[in-house]
Chains A and B, each alone.
Chain A
Amino acid sequence: DGGITQSPKYLFRKEGQNVTLSCEQNLNHDAMYWYRQDPGQGLRLIYYSQIVNDFQKGDIAEGYSVSREKKESFPLTVTSAQKNPTAFYLCASSPLALEYGYTFGSGTRLTVV
């Protein structure tokens, strides 16, 4: 089945640690996105990529980094510079034409301990 897979489902980070969230898709979508979801707020865009080896900052990129070495993969690193990383992180993909909407992964819940 085609889809988008995020792992792990739950992740715990200690203060000062970098952690990486995985996102893989087999939908042959060109574009991939990372969103952060907090209670009572709409999804906020962290980074997006429309082509391999290229990505752009979204609205809240500070403290995060990404790479897009393969079309299928778009990992997100939450660095120690992100002061409030506890949130639900969603990865999505889409064809370049946005009229088809996004396909979302099942999310990763990151908690700082």
Chain B
Amino acid sequence: GESVGLHLPTLSVQEGDNSIINCAYSNSASDYFIWYKQESGKGPQFIIDIRSNMDKRQGQRVTVLLNKTVKHLSLQIAATQPGDSAVYFCAEIFTSGTYKYIFGTGTRLKVLA
């Protein structure tokens, strides 16, 4: 919702620059990860995913990097645009046995004109 981003860390980026948003995940057994984008007053939207047997995956203008050694995930957005302004959060998923889906708290991305 509109107030979700108020207490979140904020990354301010100049339009046209690249953005890097980071996420630390909690469980080394997580085998699937997703980045979501949430615009003000809307539900989260899927951006890109990556499995634990990969360390990098590229989409259109976005790249996700996975470092399992330090349990770190990053989202890189190339040539950031005003429409990229939103809250971004990661999700880690255990897909074997009793599944669990854990969401990070998010980072607010502000694109400066």
Binding site for B on A (CB under 8 A): 6, 35, 37-43, 45, 88, 90, 92, 97-99, 101-107, 109
A104 to B36, CA, bound (A): 10
List B33-86 residues whose CB lies under 8 Å from chain A: 34, 36, 41-46, 49
A103 to B44, CA, bound (A): 8
List B contacts of A88 (CB < 8 A).
1, 3-4
A109 touches B8 (CB 8 A): no
The total of interchain contacts (Cβ-Cβ below 8 angstroms) comes to 62
Number of interface residues of B (CB under 8 A): 29
B49 touches A40 (CB 8 A): no
Q: Distance in Å from the Cβ of B60 to the closest Cβ of chain A?
A: 17
Q: Closest chain A residue to B8 by CB distance?
A: A40
A99 touches B32 (CB 8 A): yes
A41 CB contact (under 8 Å) in B44, B93, B101, B105: B105
Given contacts A37-B1, A41-B105, A104-B44, 10 further A-B contacts (CB under 8 A): A37-B4, A38-B4, A39-B3, A40-B8, A42-B89, A92-B43, A98-B99, A101-B34, A102-B101, A105-B43
Within 8 Å of chain A (Cβ to Cβ): is B6?
A: yes
List A contacts of B21 (CB < 8 A).
none
